[in-house]
Chain A
């Protein structure tokens, strides 16, 4: 069990991604960064100045970017293919399927600014379908770290893992939640807070909101477990089934549509192995109105107080 650690300071996980990639690239000359004119938004400026030849910028051409990534891997390079998640996954999904997943290309896909990070820019720039799209593909681990510590750990893991994966990162600031020495394990949930009345499951930018919701619930005498489930696929069935048996109610929250994402993945496990009352929080199958990511999460019922209310309601259905 990881000790719950929270600090108020918020961090942009892209910085941890970029710093870790630069560190790894210093010791591994096969590492290359591939991007679609997204040097700035992917925070690859430092990588570019340290390793100018190893920054492969294909321009605004996501289909080519993913195909080039597969070819670089075939030629013995270790590519991190970076782009805004809506365009990386949406525009190039068939390339991700055929060139990366089906071809088993050792390519690390890094979706930046996922979820509603580009809030005010509108639904064209929201990436709230990427869990659903990518987790439908075999042979493609899907990972959404919850803080800068898990981001760095996941990038290190990805570099050492022999196969493709999709790292779903944000640009929205989040507090530190995991201990500084955290090691990423694929497909393993992290127990951030133990509890017996309900389990709150999230990843990415929602995990810290779940922690706050658990504090609110504690004030009401309700004991909430919080699981950080960075790996959406392969999913930690054991932790989910144990949560179902031991707490009897589950609430999920995600910066994603409730159709096909983290909540759906958890529900699939629950329905087959341990049916209990459950509530999925997320974007309820609509295109979001104008607003920042934080505003939209609040708007869609993922304010910590709203999450706590959803937990109380689901507990009543036991």
Chain B
């Protein structure tokens, strides 16, 4: 699928995600809008996955370590055929399998349970190492938030990935510059990320993570070392009043804001 078509799908996913968060009255909309272009590129172009065989041994592995943006993953999985699209309306409802963080035992396509931060990358290292041991050809992708990189477990995993020579692992850092309470720069700033990852033996690519023409080739790149994509993104991307505003980490739009956001996203489609 070509980037222009991927952009169209990403806008549809944004619109459905916005509606789901608005109707549920909860969610992490800012970080969902920032990561949706990457999720779209993965599921509609890059990942070798088969929705009717979610446990196929040769499937590419994908881990959404920033599990609080689960709604964006659910909408993407539904659009790709892993779960029924109509099920998105159950997001956060009692007994729905679509809770605030993804559950691999209930939702096809989810590989491991994330939610507490700093968990996805170590598991992804294990997945990539397993392929090295068995000779499997699948590739492992993991997306973390940028604030999440403050968790020390990530750096344990980054060390191990380099030591193990995991050229079959791609880490995407959704670098939207905001964490829950404030900007990274005002909290525990990790920027610039590139030299830190390079110092740990990784190959690093920096892209605009909200531009499909940059996202796709970065995800498809294969090198000889573990690969980190520092994806510069905008929290709340696509919705003017949310963009780069820390309070939209997990705020829910009012009726007026919702209508405005729907209008903006629909116009783009």
Residue A104 CB within 8 A of the other chain? yes
Give the number of A-B contacts (CB < 8 Å).
Answer: 117
Point out the residue from B112, B131, B153, B164 that lies within 8 Å of A103, measured CB to CB.
Answer: B112
Nearest Cβ on chain B to A31's Cβ, whole angstroms:
11
Q: Is the CB of B105 within 8 A of A104?
A: yes
Residue A76 CB within 8 A of the other chain? yes
Which of chain B's residues 140-166 have a Cβ closer than 8 Å to chain A?
140, 152-153, 156-157, 159-160, 163-164
Query: Can you name the residue of chain A whose Cβ is closest to the Cβ of B128?
Result: A71
Nearest Cβ on chain A to B127's Cβ, whole angstroms:
4
Q: Is the CB of B123 within 8 A of A70?
A: yes
Q: Which of B114, B129, B131, B159 has the most CB of A within 10 A?
A: B129
Point out the residue from A59, A66, A75, A76 that lies within 8 Å of B122, measured CB to CB.
Answer: A66
Residue A61 CB within 8 A of the other chain? yes
Mark interface residues in A101-129 (1 if CB within 8 Å of B CB, else 0): 01111000000000000000000000000
Which of chain A's residues 27-85 have a Cβ closer than 8 Å to chain B?
30, 32, 53-54, 56, 58-59, 61, 63-64, 66-77, 79
Which of chain B's residues 109-129 have a Cβ closer than 8 Å to chain A?
111-116, 118-119, 121-129
Point out the residue from A66, A69, A71 that lies within 8 Å of B124, measured CB to CB.
Answer: A71
Q: Is the CB of B131 within 8 A of A99?
A: no
Q: Is the CB of B105 within 8 A of A103?
A: yes
**Contacts of B129 on A, CB cut-off 8 Å?**
56, 68, 71-72, 75
Q: Which of A30, A67, A79, A98 has the most CB of B within 10 A?
A: A67
Q: Is the CB of B133 within 8 A of A68?
A: no
Q: Is the CB of B119 within 8 A of A75?
A: no
- What is the predominant secondary structure among interface residues of chain A facing chain B? helix
Residue A94 CB within 8 A of the other chain? yes
Interface residue count on the A side (C-beta < 8 Å): 31
How many angstroms between the C-alpha atoms of A18 and B125 in the bound complex?
A: 25
Nearest Cβ on chain A to B217's Cβ, whole angstroms:
26
**Contacts of B136 on A, CB cut-off 8 Å?**
75-76
Q: Is the CB of A99 within 8 A of B133?
A: no
How many angstroms between the C-alpha atoms of A58 and B129 in the bound complex?
A: 11
Query: Can you name the residue of chain B whose Cβ is closest to the Cβ of A139?
Result: B105
Nearest Cβ on chain A to B128's Cβ, whole angstroms:
7
**Contacts of B140 on A, CB cut-off 8 Å?**
71
Nearest Cβ on chain B to A251's Cβ, whole angstroms:
39
Q: Is the CB of B156 within 8 A of A63?
A: yes
Residue A95 CB within 8 A of the other chain? yes
Query: Can you name the residue of chain B whose Cβ is closest to the Cβ of A54?
Result: B133
- Ordered by A's residue number, 12 sampled pairs between the chains whose C-beta atoms are within 8 Å are A30-B134, A54-B133, A59-B159, A63-B156, A64-B125, A70-B112, A72-B127, A75-B129, A76-B136, A77-B130, A99-B119, A103-B105
- A sample of 12 more A-B contacts (CB under 8 A), given A59-B160, A72-B133, A74-B112, is A56-B129, A58-B160, A59-B156, A63-B152, A68-B126, A70-B112, A71-B130, A72-B130, A75-B134, A94-B119, A98-B116, A99-B123
